[in-house]
Structure 1
Amino acid sequence: MPGKNDVGREGLLAATEKLLRTIPPARVTIPRVAREANVTPSLVYYHFGSRDALLLAVVDRVTVHDHREPPKGDPATALAAHIAQTVKLVRRAPYMNRLMIDELAQAEPDETRDRVRHMNLELIDFYRTLLKADGGKQLVEADPFYLFVAVLGASDFLSSAGPLIQGLLPKNTDMDKLADGYQAFLVKLLMHGMMKSAAD
């Protein structure tokens, strides 16, 4: 195990991401991250300067998608893959959306809010690019903003409503298997709504 202050920036990001898998963002503090990484809080401040900067860096690390480039290949296949990837991301980091909504989107300074806004606008542009690349061949005409909201909202529900859902299921339910089934169902459901029918 590394000694105090032997952990670098990546180790601190990994420790923060690990905490965000199990506890709400409000409980992820600099001292708690330092304890998780076995370092002093001053090292966390040295690398990131503030809690908001640390949390924003974790969001950047977890949501590594490059949506600036046009999708390669068939747009419908790319959309289905993106939906599946979004569900997997939310499963891997269930508190990430709460972090962005509850804290970073309202954070000071303005640069943090602007960065969160930019991340989400990149996703909306990704959907716009997909729809344009398809040119109405396979996918229905859709507002990229609504598509963004639908994919993100539906992907997040299984995690955010976890206690409610678990209360509806038998105690021995395999939650990983359930999540796999939900992911497949969600891709099929959203793609069914996005694909043109013979009548179109």
Structure 2
Amino acid sequence: MPKPSSRDRILDAYENVLIAHGPAGVTLEGVAAEAGVSKGGLLYHFGSKDALLDGLLDRVRRLNDADIEQARKAPKGVVHYYLRSSVSDVTKDEALHRATLATIRLAGNEPRVDTAMRSIMEAWRELLAEHVSDPLTAELIAAIGDALYLRAAFGDTSDAIVRNLDEVLDRLGT
């Protein structure tokens, strides 16, 4: 496996700091130290905190786009993929989850984050609507997935929905 680029290590460090300390804990010096680069090295790749945020938002969008493409190809279908990955991606500490969790830590404090996250959620709702004939059922599935993700992110280990996913999908008429 190739060594991550300095840019990726810096974004990884930014995510780590956000997840561990929230937005108030982010300093350029702290992110640089976490990444193992000098502050000058960080500034070479990201000239400011705003540039770091832009890098994180680009990353979360790119990872989400790739996840949507994976969902389109999922053997058991988009809905199954969406609900199952709403739990499994969190518990596996996947790159998308880490980027999403870091981004969520900024929600409500940064309008660009709120806009980006609404756009990501809308992309999933559109994909679900393509694969579920009833629009309200598609919205319910999106809401269930969001709730499963939030539960898993907070360490809730109840997995009755995921264990009984086929029955849940039957009840939803999908």
TM-score range, shorter chain: 0.5 to 0.7
Provide the residue aligned with 1:59 in structure 2. 60
- Cα distance 1:191–1:32, how it changes in 2: closer, same or farther (>3 A)? farther
Provide the residue aligned with 1:25 in structure 2. 22
Amino acid at match of 1:126: L
Give the % identical residues: 18
Check if 1:159 corresponds to 2:153: yes
Provide the residue aligned with 1:14 in structure 2. 12
Contact 2:129 2:135 in 1 (8 A): no
Alpha-carbon separation, structure 2, partners of 1:155 and 1:70: 16
1:45-102 CA-to-partner distances (Å, cap 9, x unmatched) read 432342422432443355453537983476x543223322222222316665554444
- Which ranges in structure 1 are unaligned for 5 or more consecutive residues? 1-6, 133-139, 166-178
Contact 2:64 2:120 in 1 (8 A): no
Alpha-carbon separation, structure 2, partners of 1:189 and 1:81: 14
Structure with higher Rg: it is: 1
- Which ranges in structure 2 are unaligned for 5 or more consecutive residues? none
Deviation of the 1:127 alpha carbon: 1.0
Provide the residue aligned with 1:136 in structure 2. none
- Cα distance 1:25–1:192, how it changes in 2: closer, same or farther (>3 A)? farther
Structure ranking higher in helix proportion: 2
Deviation of the 1:128 alpha carbon: 0.7
- Cα distance 1:158–1:82, how it changes in 2: closer, same or farther (>3 A)? closer
Provide the residue aligned with 1:192 in structure 2. 167
Alignment: residue pair count: 162
For normalisation by structure 2, the TM-score amounts to 0.67
Contact 1:124 1:145 in 2 (8 A): yes
Provide the residue aligned with 1:84 in structure 2. 84
For normalisation by structure 1, the TM-score amounts to 0.60
Alpha-carbon separation, structure 1, partners of 2:166 and 2:131: 13
Match of 2:68, SS state, is coil
Alpha-carbon separation, structure 2, partners of 1:72 and 1:98: 25
Contact 1:12 1:37 in 2 (8 A): yes
CA RMSD, aligned part only? Answer: 3.6
Contact 1:31 1:41 in 2 (8 A): yes
Check if 1:107 corresponds to 2:110: yes
Deviation of the 1:41 alpha carbon: 2.8
- Cα distance 1:119–1:18, how it changes in 2: closer, same or farther (>3 A)? same
